Chain A
Amino acid sequence: MIRNNARAALLVAVFALGGCAHYPVNDPLSQPVATSEYRFNDQPSGANTNELFVCLTFSGGGTRAAALSYGVLQKLRDTPITWKGSQKRLLDEIDCISSVSGGSFTAAYYGLFGERVFADFRRDFLETDVQGALLGRALAPTNWVRLASPTFSRIDLAAEYYGDALFEHKTFQALGAGGKRPFVIINATNMANGERFEFTQSDFTVLGSDLSSYPVARAVAASSAFPFLLSPLSLRNYPAPETTKLTRDIHNGLDDFYTDRRRYQWAFNRAGYVDVAKRPYVHLMDGGLADNIGLRPIEAAYRRSSGFIRKLINDGSIEKLLIIVVNARTEGTDTISGSESPPGLLTVASKTATVALDNYSFETIQLFKDLRDERARAQRDIAACQEKLNACPGAPRLPRLANDIDSYFVDIDFYALKDPARRDYFLNLPTSFKLSADEVAKLIDVGGDLLAADPEFRRFLDTIAKP
């Protein structure tokens, strides 16, 4: 009897403690603001230069995307260049990486550990049955109790696993230590408005929160919180002075409803977080829901007045710009259109969550290419007009841009493969966190092959002196 009572008491205690389980909460902004803020640093370090500015984007797509982007990194490591008289690898010139979902694992690991990615990442992540490991943690009885808590869910278990197995519980302070490059932008999606959410200090400042103490594993978990399979990840929105949360850029953007709707909407979404009583939390899901190729942050950094690429362009720092989009998209077999009767509830739920993922990826790519072409046209127009004016004695000099920029845009995509059998093989790989070692090896190889074969990349290399 006494033993039974003791067991019951123990069980109650375990559930009571488990019921108290809580996800790690993001910290409020410290005053004064930490000097280790996670922002792009204008001053490159080591062998990197601003003059050759290289940004990569890693798409979603589970281990398939992580392995493809790893293959591209490896190829960049194996591409020697001579720039400004220095011999180096193209890898050493990467300035930023923007990533989504599966691609965020490769981006964050490279950002944290640099060269170690080529020694450990394949074994510790790409060739690991991550799905099995996550399931194992979810089935562990001690975790059932924790999962019973309303403030601890599957995504928090996943983040713990990523911290234990991969990211060594490092924080964004380590990711940005010393303002090192590449500047890694891990992207999630805000469930309230569908807007992209960046794990950068800029987006955390709007929440009155300090990113530097936040675990990188949790950002990667949010970025890859695939709908239904994983739960959303929550952040707290803290009160902070309006002057801190709303920069002048945001204030001015709120006046631009008729002038620039895009800027207005960006400002409007941020201004909503000033009222902490109304929006005390932010819930994040897979970054692919907002932008499955991770190009939007780079487009914003290029187009927006306060973007880090824009400011370098206006300062005349960038001479050559290389953007590489690594897109691991696939197109599953259409099993819906052959039947007259509409799909069932589960199919509808699954399609609702995933069908829009790549809907506008091509539009984003085209948008960036249009911006690049617009800049090239402006350079040509000024040069052509100045040349004509030069023939007129006493003619004034035309206004000049800070610098002419030579831009290249590389689009890595399985659809670029010419061999139909090889293309179909990759297009039919599943989106999961469990692939065979052979599948991973093929993905790594094809990443390098696609980069080497890309016509724009070859043109870029032709303009760079080889050692």
Chain B
Amino acid sequence: MEFLLVHFERSRRVKVDDEFNGRTEVVIELEAGTHVVSLGPPDNFKPSEQTVVLKNTSPLQPREITFDPK
């Protein structure tokens, strides 16, 4: 498995490839490869989505991405 950690100033559901999959500030376990990551509503974050390619992560060193308030 690969590991992704999504940061946002508030706790929010995370969307991976258009489907809800985990929450912000909690490590999300995903298969390797290309994923489009976004957040659940309300639409008060930017960018609207981010593309990540997950490979060679670990639970202690997940890939980290941040969404900022809009």
Contacts and interface: CB of A to CB of B under 8 A. Distances in A.
Interface of A: 247-249, 252-253, 255-256, 259-260, 262-264, 303-306, 310-311, 313-316, 371, 374-375, 378, 381-382, 385, 398-402
B39 interface: no
Contacts, number: 96
B59 A382 contact: yes
Contacts of A248: 17-18, 36
A304, A305, A315, most chain B CB atoms within 10 A: A305
Contacts of B26: 314, 316, 399-402
Contact of A263 (B3, B22, B29, B32): B32
A247 B27 contact: no
Contacts of A259: 32-34, 53-55
B34 to A, nearest CB: 4
Interface string B29-60: 11111111000000000000000011100011
Contacts of B17: 247-249, 252, 305-306
B60 A256 contact: no
Interface string B1-19: 1010100000000001111
B27 A260 contact: no
A304 B33 contact: no
A256 to B, nearest CB: 4
B60 A305 contact: no
B20 to A, nearest CB: 7
A382 B5 CA distance: 14
Contact of A306 (B19, B22, B27): B19
B62 A399 contact: yes
Contacts of B5: 399
B19 A311 contact: yes
B33 A260 contact: yes
A304 B21 CA distance: 11
A315 B22 contact: yes
A302 B21 CA distance: 13
A263 B55 CA distance: 13
Nearest to A254: B34
Contacts of A255: 33-34
B16 A305 contact: yes
B27 A401 contact: yes
A378 B33 CA distance: 20
Nearest to A315: B22
Contacts of B62: 399
Contacts of A262: 31
22 contacts: A249-B17, A252-B34, A253-B33, A256-B34, A259-B33, A259-B34, A259-B53, A262-B31, A263-B31, A264-B33, A305-B21, A310-B21, A310-B29, A313-B29, A314-B21, A315-B21, A316-B26, A378-B1, A382-B59, A385-B60, A399-B3, A401-B59
A248 B33 CA distance: 13
A303 B35 contact: no
Given A248-B18, A311-B21, A402-B28, 17 more contacts: A249-B18, A252-B17, A252-B36, A256-B33, A259-B53, A259-B54, A305-B16, A306-B16, A310-B30, A311-B22, A315-B22, A371-B1, A381-B60, A399-B59, A400-B26, A400-B27, A401-B59
Contact of A314 (B29, B32, B54, B59): B29
Contacts of B27: 399-402
